[in-house]
């Protein structure tokens, strides 16, 4: 039986979300149509929008449905940059944390290469925390040139939760809007759009037990964006396209349920994480934990995130060996042209490249059990031994 420990990549759908989506799949109706079936579909979409908004502390009118986190990040960063530059041609600079997901990083690089943007990368500290004062310092290099600040709510690799409210305050001192990718945070730590002060926030369904292929960009009504798709003008003219009514319904149900049981689930999953980390550290292989971690903590690190550095091993080798033993996890690093690359997150945190190559990311979720942790801990010693032999380092 497989132990699935890659919930940060995607988590199994909740039965309630499956049921809601399946029921809606059998019902015809385009939410943009004016006849009875269309109005019925529109009602489902708007009721789902209200449920989602309530769960994340937003107004329904602020929720713009998209195809997922990547599209939401692209619309937020590109749309805000273009809009702010149109209003003030001097605003061509982006202030972005160096540990963002590639949905933000690559979008920023595109703007630099194709649209004349410049970027100031804000490095995290050794724990992976982006300090608000560092963001403030980056802005104050030239406040009048900054179009947007973007800092993720929680890191997808090492699980560090960022001081979002402090960062927002630092940016708003200079009238600069802030976007945060909250894909990994939603359903795992408290997320409240209004209380955060954010101007833009990205969320997606499949990280919280909803379906793949649907997400949302939460946008303050005062925030102007240049649309990145054109057509029917759906979703406040921000994102044209026929709405996926069944997926939107499943999305809302999943978020509502995951947020509703967040507190007790965070404690349960953090206990599994802590046992995994504590035991792995005690195996005698020199394993260390990346990011901020204290047993029992569910606020500064995502409850289900366990990120290990295993010296003398290539992360990819460990991944394949564990997979062969029935344990599915991730390295969190990139692979370009068939050549494994160390994680940009770890490098930004100051981890030496050779150490960063031994990264292993294990993430737990709503289906995780003690048996999953036991399977990993049972398979790890043999995997480390074989990986070290393959790299020429015996234990």
Inside any domain, residue 378: yes
pLDDT at 338: 54
The last residue of a domain, from among 244, 259, 274: 259
Give the containing element (helix H, strand E) for 112.
helix 102-114
Please check whether residues 197 and 310 belong to one and the same domain.
no
Residue 37 lies in a domain: yes
Does 231 reside within a domain?
Answer: yes
pLDDT for position 393: 59
362, two tokens: 């294990």
The tokens for 253 are: 């149900």
| C-alpha to C-alpha distance for 227 and 82, rounded to whole angstroms | 9
CB 13 within 8 A of CB 210: yes
In a domain, 356, yes or no: yes
Q: How far apart are CA 252 and CA 241, in angstroms?
A: 19
| CB of 288 closer than 8 Å to CB of 255 | no
The Cα 348–Cα 341 span in angstroms is 14
Q: Which run of H or of E encompasses 149?
A: strand 146-150
Question: In terms of C-beta density within 10 A (0-12 exposed, 13-18 middle, 19 or more buried), how is residue 377 classed?
Answer: middle
CATH of the domain at 71: 3.40.640.10
Could you tell me if 166 and 315 lie in one domain?
no
Evaluate whether 84 touches 91 at the Cβ level (below 8 Å). yes
Same domain, 250 and 357: no
Q: Where would I find the beta strands (DSSP E) of the chain? A: 3-4, 63-66, 93-97, 118-122, 146-150, 178-181, 200-204, 215-219, 288-289, 305-309, 327-328, 334-336, 339-341, 359-363
Domain total of the chain: 2
Do both 235 and 305 map to the same domain?
Answer: no
**H-helix or E-strand spanning residue 359:** strand 359-363
Give the 3-state secondary structure of 316-348.
HHHHHHHHHCCEECECCCEEECCEEECCHHHHH
CA distance 55 to 291: 28
Q: Give the tokens for residue 318.
A: 């460990």
Predicted local distance difference test score (pLDDT) of residue 1: 85
On whether residue 7 sits in a domain, the answer given is no
Task: Say if residue 94 is in the same domain as residue 225.
Answer: yes
Domain containing 91 equals: 15-259
Q: 231, 259, 287 — which closes off a domain? A: 259
Within a domain: residue 9?
no
Give the sign of the dihedral formed by CA 155, CA 59, CA 264, CA 18.
Answer: negative
Q: Is residue 5 part of a domain?
A: no
- 249 with 347, same domain: the answer is no
Cβ atoms 181, 69 nearer than 8 A: yes
Separation between Cα atoms, residue 293 and residue 278, nearest integer Å: 11
183 and 280 assigned to the same domain: no
Q: What is the pLDDT of residue 352?
A: 96
CATH number at residue 365: 3.90.1150.10
Domain closes at, from 259, 285, 311:
259
| Region of residue 69 (left: phi > 0; alpha: psi -120 to 50; beta: else) | alpha
Closest by Cα among 237, 210, 207 to 221: 237
Q: Answer yes or no: is 3 within a domain.
A: no
Per-residue pLDDT of the chain (395 residues; tens, 9 = 90+): 899 999 999 999 999 999 999 999 999 999 999 999 999 999 999 999 999 999 999 999 999 999 999 999 999 999 999 999 999 999 999 999 999 999 999 999 999 999 999 999 999 999 999 999 999 999 999 999 999 999 999 999 999 999 999 999 999 999 999 999 999 999 999 999 999 999 999 999 999 999 999 999 999 999 999 999 999 999 999 999 999 999 999 999 999 999 999 999 999 999 999 999 999 999 999 999 999 999 999 999 999 999 999 999 999 999 999 999 999 999 986 555 455 789 999 999 999 999 999 999 999 999 999 999 999 999 999 999 999 998 775 54
Provide DSSP, 254-286: HHHHHHHTHHHHHHHHHHHHHHHHHHHHTTSS-
Closest of 18, 15, 38 to residue 27, by C-alpha: 38
Q: Please tell me the distance from the alpha carbon of residue 393 to that of residue 384, in angstroms, as a whole number.
A: 10
Secondary structure class of 374 (helix, strand, coil): helix
Cα 323 → chain centroid: 24
Same domain assignment for residues 151 and 252: yes
pLDDT at 337: 45
Residues 266 and 240 in one domain: no
Shared domain for 39 and 108, answered yes or no, is yes
Domain check: are 172 and 310 in the same one? no
Q: What is the pairing mode between strands 305-309 and 288-289?
A: antiparallel
Which pLDDT belongs to residue 372? 98
Does the annotation count 335 as an active-site position? yes
Q: Are residues 245 and 302 in the same domain?
A: no
């Amino acid at each position: 039986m497989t132990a699935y420990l890659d919930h940060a990549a995607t988590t199994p759908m909740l039965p309630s979300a499956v049921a809601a989506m399946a029921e809606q799949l059998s019902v015809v109706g385009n939410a943009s149509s004016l006849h009875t079936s269309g109005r019925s579909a529109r009602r489902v979409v708007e009721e789902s929008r209200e449920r989602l908004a309530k769960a994340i502390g937003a107004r329904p009118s602020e929720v713009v449905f998209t195809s997922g986190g990547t599209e939401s990040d692209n619309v937020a960063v590109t749309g805000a940059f273009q809009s702010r530059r149109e209003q003030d041609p001097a605003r061509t600079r982006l202030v972005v944390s160096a540990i963002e997901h590639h949905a933000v990083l690559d979008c920023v690089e595109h703007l630099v290469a194709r649209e004349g943007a410049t970027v100031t990368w804000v490095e995290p500290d050794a724990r992976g925390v982006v300090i608000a004062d560092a963001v403030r310092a980056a802005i104050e290099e030239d406040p009048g040139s900054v179009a947007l600040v973007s800092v993720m709510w929680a890191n997808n690799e090492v699980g560090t939760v960022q001081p979002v409210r402090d960062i927002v305050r630092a940016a708003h001192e200079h009238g600069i809007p802030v976007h945060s990718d909250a894909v990994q945070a939603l359903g795992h730590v408290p997320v409240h759009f209004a209380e955060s002060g954010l101007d833009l926030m990205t969320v997606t369904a499949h990280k919280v037990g909803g379906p793949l292929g649907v997400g949302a960009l939460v946008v303050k009504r005062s925030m102007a964006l240049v649309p990145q798709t054109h057509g029917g003008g759906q979703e406040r003219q921000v994102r044209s396209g026929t709405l996926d009514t069944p997926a939107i319904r499943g999305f809302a149900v999943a978020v509502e349920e995951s947020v509703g049981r967040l507190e007790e689930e965070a404690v349960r999953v953090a206990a599994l994480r802590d046992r995994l980390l504590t035991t792995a550290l005690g195996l005698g292989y020199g394993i260390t934990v990346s990011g901020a971690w204290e047993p029992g903590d569910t606020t500064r690190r995502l409850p289900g995130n366990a990120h290990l550095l295993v010296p003398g091993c290539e992360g990819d080798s460990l991944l394949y060996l564990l997979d062969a033993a029935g344990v599915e996890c991730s390295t969190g690093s990139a692979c370009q042209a068939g050549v494994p690359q160390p994680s940009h997150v770890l490098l930004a945190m100051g981890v030496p490249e050779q150490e960063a190559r031994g990264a292993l990311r294990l993430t737990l979720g709503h289906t995780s059990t003690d048996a999953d942790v036991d399977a990993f801990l049972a398979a790890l010693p043999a995997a480390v031994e074989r990986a070290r032999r393959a790299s020429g380092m015996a234990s």
